[in-house]
């Protein structure tokens, strides 16, 4: 990997780390950057997953005091996410390269759409009295979302927030902490699957991880001065542009 490519990945990781700290959607920046460097879609996705694996864990630790009371239901949800994340990663590695190339624009575009409507989803989640999380109501949807998380994962946070809120959690801040814990469970298994199968491009991953860690710290300060709405709009614009570019490249050209 040339110095210029490494510097670009550090910059993309830094921007992704800031995005993760302020609004989410880091993969909408980092995954297209890896593709632009010439990595095949599977290698780009695996490298991206490992490079960003600490993001949600650090976000959960930063607000650990606001986590919901841990009980049997949350333990089961964590196990479900570990299992689903591993299955999703295996499915990604088993997807034929030609098919995955066709899926890339749809995955980026769909994730961009989910990220864009995230605030609307949160505003329209049901507000109701609740005694806690209803495991039976969320177990299967969370399992499906964890498979998606291991497979691709961009905008997974929006999906999980909606599922957990519909399942009975009404405090957004504590729900957000639990969401980050569950996504960490997805990363625990999917990352090891990608590493075990040799799908990770290590120089690119290390550059991406270095940038994302620095960006996460910076985002904790920038969130005090930069409007999150502006950051969100920037991420959406980047996602739309990437969808158009790779839609043209893989579907039309």
CB-based contact 60:175 (threshold 8 Å): no
DSSP annotation of 155? T
Three-state secondary structure of 168-218: CCCCHHHHHHHHHHHHHHHHHHHHHHHHHCCCCCHHHHHHHHHHHHHHHHH
pLDDT confidence of residue 89: 96
CB-based contact 151:111 (threshold 8 Å): no
pLDDT over 70 percentage in the chain: 92
pLDDT confidence of residue 224: 67
| pLDDT, averaged in runs of 10, over the chain (253 residues) | 91 88 80 93 94 82 73 89 97 91 90 82 61 80 94 84 77 77 92 96 96 82 75 85 90 85
Domain ranges of the chain: 3-252
Q: At a CB cut-off of 8 Å and minimum separation 6, what does 242 contact? A: 28, 32, 108, 112
Terminal CA-to-CA distance of the chain, rounded, Å?
A: 27
Length of the chain: 253
pLDDT confidence of residue 248: 93
> Measured between alpha carbons, how far is 110 from 215 in angstroms, rounded to an integer?
25
pLDDT confidence of residue 195: 96
pLDDT confidence of residue 132: 66
pLDDT confidence of residue 90: 97
pLDDT confidence of residue 230: 82
């Amino acid at each position: 990997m040339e110095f210029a490519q490494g510097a670009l990945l550090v910059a993309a990781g830094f921007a992704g780390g800031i995005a993760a700290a302020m609004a989410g959607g880091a993969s909408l920046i980092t995954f297209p950057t890896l593709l632009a460097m010439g990595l095949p879609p599977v290698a780009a996705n695996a490298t991206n997953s490992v490079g960003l694996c600490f993001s949600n864990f650090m976000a959960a630790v930063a607000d650990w005091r606001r986590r919901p009371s841990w009980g049997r239901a949350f333990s089961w949800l964590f196990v479900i996410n570990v299992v689903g994340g591993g299955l999703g990663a295996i499915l990604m590695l088993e997807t034929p390269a030609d098919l995955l190339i066709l899926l890339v624009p749809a995955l980026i575009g769909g994730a961009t759409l989910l990220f864009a409507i995230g605030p609307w989803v949160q505003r329209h989640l049901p507000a109701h009295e609740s005694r806690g999380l209803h495991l039976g109501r969320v177990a299967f949807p969370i399992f499906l979302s964890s498979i998606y998380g291991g497979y691709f994962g961009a905008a997974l946070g929006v999906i999980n927030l909606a599922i957990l809120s519909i399942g009975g959690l009404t405090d957004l801040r504590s729900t957000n902490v639990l969401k980050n814990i569950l996504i960490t469970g997805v990363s625990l298994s999917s990352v090891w699957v990608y590493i075990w199968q040799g799908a990770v491009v290590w120089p690119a991953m290390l550059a991406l991880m270095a940038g994302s860690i620095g960006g996460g710290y910076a985002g904790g300060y920038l969130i005090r001065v930069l409007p999150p709405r502006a950051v969100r709009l920037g991420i959406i614009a980047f996602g739309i542009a990437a969808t158009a570019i790779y839609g043209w490249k893989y579907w039309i050209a």
